[in-house]
Amino acid sequence: MIPNIDAFCTMPMGECAVDYDPVKFSLRQAKIYYFTGRVLGMVLKDVVSPDKGKAFMLCNEAIARGAIEADVKVVAFYPGAPTSEILDTFSEALGSFDYQMQIATNEKVALEICAGASFAGFRSLTAMKSVGMNVASDTLFVLGYTGVGGGMVIVMADDPHAHSSQSEQDGRFFAPNAYIPMLEPSTAQESKDMVKEAFAISERHRVPVIVRTVTRVRRWTGKVAVIDALAIAKECGNPNVENAVFLGCLSALRDLPLDPEKVKEAIAEVVPRGTVEQNLKAFESGIRKASEALCGYGICRA
């Protein structure tokens, strides 16, 4: 006997956009149909939209949006929660952009596909659960000292309490042991912004960058401000100051320990002398745009 689909619907059966025939559909087939047909259908238009604005996304969907905005060219995955929605979102959006996607034999192969693309100068992204990072660790540690070419981002999701994994582990130790950077978003907005910044860091320092989430974060839903950082950078007179726009957006958020004045001091110290004014202008523009987009939600600095 096949269980009723209501067991996994978050709303009454009458409100689920699913044609369910218990003779033809197994529970898993119906579940896949429900999630891809309804949930992804609701958010896909926001993920692929070229327009600026606000959208309601899971963190994993925001990660996909951030990678698309960063002009990722190759994505490769081995399926596994808690990163499943990243694969699903890229699959659904595949026809709308010029990236290539592959489902690999395992996480190590997926990482090596992305490494090959990076060596060729293309931006690439893979996503895996913490247990999968164990499988890919041989290649990960090699990339730490060989370096990469095009920006390369590895999204790794830990699973505290092992909700969907064989075991629980703290994957944060991979980064210092492999001598590569790691970013840890805590909201959907940070997920999108940090993925874009991860690509920039990767290309600046020629190393892969890990973006680490956990089960609770990847299931977090939130309003995401879609800001065209490249257009803002061009308005500031230099498309290469796009990173300063990202820093401004993050500095506008109240819960992040970023003091805007100290960030400006750091920018003035590290950027080429001839671009200081443009970078600072881009930074201020990022703060202003993020504050305008997220005004009224109580998450920006006063």
Closest CA to 62 of 194, 161, 247, 204: 194
What domain range includes position 103? 53-222
Is 68 inside a domain boundary?
yes
Cis bond upstream, residue 12 (ω within 30): no
Structure-token match 């950077």, residue found: 181
Work out the angle at residue 48's Cα, subtended by the Cα atoms of residues 299 and 200, and round it to the nearest 5 degrees: 65
Provide the pLDDT confidence category of residue 300 given band limits of 50, 70 and 90. low
Is 287 inside a domain boundary?
yes
- Report pLDDT for 253: 77
Strand partners of residue 124 = 74, 152
pLDDT at 7 over 80: no
Domain match, 72 and 208 both: yes
- Report pLDDT for 31: 37
Residue 209 has what DSSP assignment?
E
Handedness of CA 233, 238, 244, 248 (dihedral sign): negative
- Report pLDDT for 106: 94
Domain match, 92 and 146 both: yes
CA 7 to chain centre: 30
Tell me the pLDDT tens digit for each residue of 108-156. 999 999 999 999 999 999 999 888 888 999 999 999 989 999 999 999 9
Q: Give the C-alpha separation, 214 to 87, whole Å.
A: 16
Residue ending a domain, among 222, 256, 277, is 222
Q: In the predicted model, what is the mean pLDDT of residues 280-289?
A: 88
Q: Within 10 Å of residue 297's Cβ, how many Cβ atoms?
A: 12
- Report pLDDT for 130: 84
Q: Which of 24-33, 119-128, 231-240, 258-267 has the lowest mean pLDDT?
A: 24-33
Domain match, 83 and 116 both: yes
Domain match, 273 and 132 both: no
Percent of the chain with pLDDT over 90: 29
Domain match, 208 and 167 both: yes
Q: In the predicted model, what is the mean pLDDT of residues 9-30?
A: 35
- Report pLDDT for 102: 93
Domain match, 89 and 202 both: yes
Provide the pLDDT confidence category of residue 25 given band limits of 50, 70 and 90. very low
Q: How many distinct structural domains can be found in the chain? A: 2
pLDDT at 19 over 50: no
Is 250 inside a domain boundary?
yes
Is 12 inside a domain boundary?
no
